[in-house]
Structure 1
Amino acid sequence: MADFGDSMGISASGMRAQAMRMRIVSENVANADTPGYHRKLVTFRPEDRDQPGAVEIGRVTLDPSEPERILDPGHPLADAQGYRLSSNVEAVIEMADAREAQRSYEANLRMFDQARQMSARLLELLRR
């Protein structure tokens, strides 16, 4: 039964990490039109617990790529040459990241459910 609990814990850690990743992606999408906003990047790392295979969110870093400079002399944030900075968020990349996080979350959920069903069946067999 401990192996079922371990596998459920690993799956749960994956679901927590992917939910946090979706939160970061949604922050990026929400700030896509914010001038000078740098896209946040998520990294994963092993949890520091006894469960090998469990993951958590590592440091959230900023995308080092420069935001696009847009010529807009009438904009209040334009510099002396008439350029303003947009954000470096690409909607296509964020949608792909969101889709990947969703699929990973669903895969962890299926693994969690499989472990739960297997442990329930084992308990039924032991009761007989």
Structure 2
Amino acid sequence: MSMFSIFHISGSAVSAQSQRLNAVASNMANADTVAGPDGQAYKARQVVFQSVMAQNGTDQTDVGVQVVGVQENQTPGRRVHDPSHQLADADGYVTYSNVNSVEEMVNMISASRSYQNNLEVMGTAKSLLLKTLQMGQG
């Protein structure tokens, strides 16, 4: 594996964590939304990753992390009895999204740290490559 593969691997991980942060932001923005006119409340979304490994005899630039999809959490939303609410159902219940704010904050911190760590890996690899070039000049 070449040093340049490190940039591809870390870059793909940064891209994947960026998508994860976007999903968390969307979830947090919709944490207190209620069911719309269709009766369906917002469902939390989670980004699904997959590691990509080099196959024998294939190009090393194919290694890294890829997003294979975004899954909706199928847990039912929280229901609150509020007959005066304009979106209450026939029984007087309002259905809110199934977003758990605490879980989303943990996901955000985890994704942010992973993002930062991968940027540090790229910075360290860059520094090592520059030092190698400087050694060759001397």
TM over 0.5: yes
Is 1:44–2:49 an aligned residue pair?
yes
Number of aligned residues:
127
In the TM superposition, structure 1's runs of 4+ consecutive aligned residues that sit over 4 Å from their partners are none
Cα pair 1:4 1:116 within 8 Å, conserved: no
**Partner Cα separation in structure 1 for residue 20 and residue 134 of structure 2:** 37
Structure-1-length-normalised TM-score: 0.92
How do 1:55-74 and structure 2 match up within 5 A?
Answer: 55-74=65-84
Structure-2-length-normalised TM-score: 0.85
Cα pair 2:10 2:122 within 8 Å, conserved: yes
Deviations 1:94-119 (A, max 9, x none): 11000000110111011111111111
**Partner Cα separation in structure 2 for residue 52 and residue 66 of structure 1:** 39
**Partner Cα separation in structure 2 for residue 58 and residue 100 of structure 1:** 19
How far 1:46 moved relative to its partner?
3.1
Q: Aligned-residue CA RMSD in angstroms?
A: 1.7
Deviations 1:29-78 (A, max 9, x none): 01112111100111102359843540122210100111011101011111
- Unaligned residue ranges in structure 2 (runs of 5+): 35-40
Amino acid at match of 1:39: A
How do 1:1-12 and structure 2 match up within 5 A?
Answer: 3-12=2-11
- Unaligned residue ranges in structure 1 (runs of 5+): none
How do 1:106-117 and structure 2 match up within 5 A?
Answer: 106-117=116-127
**Partner Cα separation in structure 1 for residue 79 and residue 65 of structure 2:** 38
